[in-house]
Amino acid sequence: MTLDRPALSQALTKTPGASAEGIGDVHSVLCRREAPAFQRAARSGEELLVACTQESRLFQALAEHTEGAPALTERPIRFVNLRETGGWSREGAAATPKLAALIAAAQLPSPEPVGTVSYRSAGHCLILGPAARAEAAAALLADKLELSLLVDGGDLQQAHEFAVQRGRLTQLTGWLGAFAARWEDANPIDLDLCTRCNACIEVCPEGAIDFGYQVDLARCKAHRDCVAACDAAGAIDFNRGPRISEGRFDLVLDLGATPAFAMHQPPQGYFHVGSETQLMPAVFALREMVGEFEKPKFFRYEQRVCAHSRNEQIGCTACIDVCSAQAIRSDASLKGKTVGRKGGSAAPLTAGIVVEPHLCVGCGACSTVCPTGAISYGYPGPVDLGHRVRTLLKTYAVAGGRDAVLLLHSQEEGTSLINALGRVASTHRAQGMPARVLPMALWHSASVGLDVWLSAFAQGANQVWVLVGESEAPAYRQALADQMALAQAILHGLGYAGEHFRLIDARGDVASLDAALRAAPAQGVARPAGFAIQPDKRGTLELVLGHLIDCLPDAAPPPDVIVLPAAGAPYGNVLVDSAKCTLCLACVGACPSRALADNPDQPQLKFIEKNCVQCGLCQSTCPEDAIRLEPRLLLADGGRERTRSRVLHEAQPFHCVRCAKPFGTLRAIETMITRLAGHAAFQGAAAERLKMCSDCRVIDMYSNTHEQRITDL
């Protein structure tokens, strides 16, 4: 690849925070011939950035064996791929702004560290499947792992080398180091006791027993000759009922036709081998899974703002629905319970979600679809991620780049696809990565959504594309598509023309990726924003909306309303049917975001649209079925209207018949009186008390009781 050294040095010098010297020596054939130059740089003690990833192993080894160079633990080498991402392309000569941006981003400090999740495995492995395949796999693992076999058919070897059970698996749960299995065995022969002497096979007149050492009950005529032959071992008992067995295991190798875990992303420590080509990779991985292991805790959860449930009603289930690892569940155990608070009263304890960190694989899709930001991605967190996006875009623009595309992709599959495209482009059989496309690797492509995409656009990205491959769960693809529809609806509603957000589905096809990257630019923002992405998702969206409204493309006032797609809409209106609403205010108690409120001075239901997350809790809570949701983005009065409190419904108050103090609403009291008119407990004086405030009700009950006592005396 050709580097424009002066232009690159000048571009890096202009980068915010860069040194005045810009870039130092550029070595274009460093890997072999100029290795001494790398060793001299290593001895200097300066920060080292190697702008090629092909020979990273060589550079690591050179640094370790260079006398006088700091240890890699003290000063790790940074690597960034400039060749496949920019230089190996037909537009490589015009890629200087992109290369400068990639170099600047690679020099950023490492993200804030996150907590870890620990696993401990002693190597006890359960192998499931047909007998022959299970015993063959066991032979490859026996020297490293403690094995138990649960087989479901086929002949067993004569040698009793492994602990073997035969039965039907009924349940398998858990993760690496903590799997729990349950199975049912209804056969008269207990394989634990069977010595495989073959005497039962020899004496059975129907041939109902084979070298699987189980009785075929459909063929058995109950001669019981096998029982007599097995008298010494006592392994055959036709009176034995079905046995339920349980076991705990650290690892599971599943050789069955249908995987025991149905989710797209099974737990760590579980391997399903559907074909013979998958067996050896699984065996190699299992052999290394003995000891203690750690992985990042990818998420942060704040129950206070979670919109999942209130008052025993379910609202938002977006994170539960999208999780391909089934790591998220509803915390139904808390529903209906209360917790004490100041003043001695009891407050309802809201039930949120529970995320099992041992099952979480770090896709981040839950944080992408969460409307409130209650669950957020932490690897990296929004602030670190935003700093990286901003550095890329700002450096690219300062270096003279135009119409930047932010291409988000997964760290493994996405990087592999991009590298494959660059490799083909180096042979002139593909065009390669365009000069305006800035690739940015993520742990998972589904971990970033609406807030980051719109922030990138506001900060100068002309378009944001997300690259997905074969490994993506269908739920992730749908979630990303829904989020992109929302983001695009907002920009189109504000007057920005073109396609700004795109899901590129390459599926391992380099040619389709090459073609997809050639899309035309869209209409961008006139003035890039200077804000930083916030830890709070909705706070970030408010900054984005404020900037986009200030920079409308046609200098025209924004529309009063932008209609949003219903799927995943984070904003919207609440519509109340005044003919049905009794102002019971159950919806106010259910609202997790304080979008709905009452008026302590008069019967009113008030609403702040900016706070509404469209979770639906108010709708499911309303006993009168008087509430409907309307996904939209309200921008009237420059967006200020959505921040104001407005009255959705109000009613005439009902006045106590004893003291004339207002309480409740006329409609609510009349409805209550009508519904209780036929109830035996609410007749006469009791019916009249329904028209009294709470204080007068107590006074009236006490007065009547006292008068009755005097009468009795």
pLDDT tens for 246-259 read 999 999 999 999 99
Residue 29 makes CB contacts below 8 A (sequence gap 6+) with none
Residue carrying the six token digits 């050896």: 280
Query: Residue 713: is its pLDDT beyond 90?
Result: no
The pLDDT of 175-193, averaged and rounded, is 94
Type of residue numbered 707: E
Q: What does DSSP say about strands 299-301 and 375-377: parallel, antiparallel, or unpaired?
A: antiparallel
pLDDT at res. 18: 57
**How would residue 701 be classed by pLDDT, with cut points 50, 70 and 90?**
confident
What is the arithmetic mean of pLDDT over 40-48? 86
Q: Does residue 705 register a pLDDT over 70?
A: no
Its pTM stands at 0.87
Tokens 């050179």 correspond to what residue?
62
Q: Domains in the chain, please, with CATH?
A: 119-295 (3.50.50), 299-377 (3.30.70), 382-550 (3.40.50), 561-650 (3.30.70.3270), 655-712 (no CATH)
Q: Which of 452, 549, 544 is nearest to 501 (CA)?
A: 452
Do the beta carbons of residue 292 and residue 343 sit within 8 Å?
no
Angle separating helix axes 131-141 and 279-287, nearest 10 degrees: 40
Q: How far is CA 122 from CA 178, 291, 294, in A?
A: 10, 6, 15
Band of pLDDT at residue 484, cut at 50, 70 and 90:
very high
Lookup: tokens for 98: 């992109």
Q: How many CA atoms lie within 13 A of 642 on its CB side?
A: 23
- The phi, psi pair for 606, rounded to 5°, reads -110, 160
What pLDDT does 654 receive?
86
pLDDT computed for residue 342 by the predictor = 38
pLDDT-derived band of residue 614, with 50, 70 and 90 as boundaries? very high
pLDDT of 341:
38
Residue 676 has pLDDT above 70, yes or no: yes
**Pair of tokens at residue 540:** 């970030």
Report how far residue 596's alpha carbon sits from residue 23's, in angstroms, rounded to the nearest whole number. Answer: 56
**Residue 9 confidence (pLDDT) above 90:** no
In sequence order, the β-bridge partners of residue 268 are none
> 534-567 b/e with 16+ CB inside 10 Å = b?
bebbbebbbbbbebbeebbeeeeebeebbebeee
Contacts of 86 (CB under 8 A, 6+ apart): 1, 92, 95, 98, 99, 102, 433, 435
Question: Mind listing the pLDDT tens digit for each residue in 307-318?
Answer: 999 877 899 999
Confidence of residue 14 (pLDDT cuts 50, 70, 90): confident
Closest Cα to residue 381, out of 316, 456, 443? 443
Average pLDDT estimate for 325-341: 65
pLDDT tens digits for 450-483? 999 999 999 999 999 999 988 889 999 999 999 9
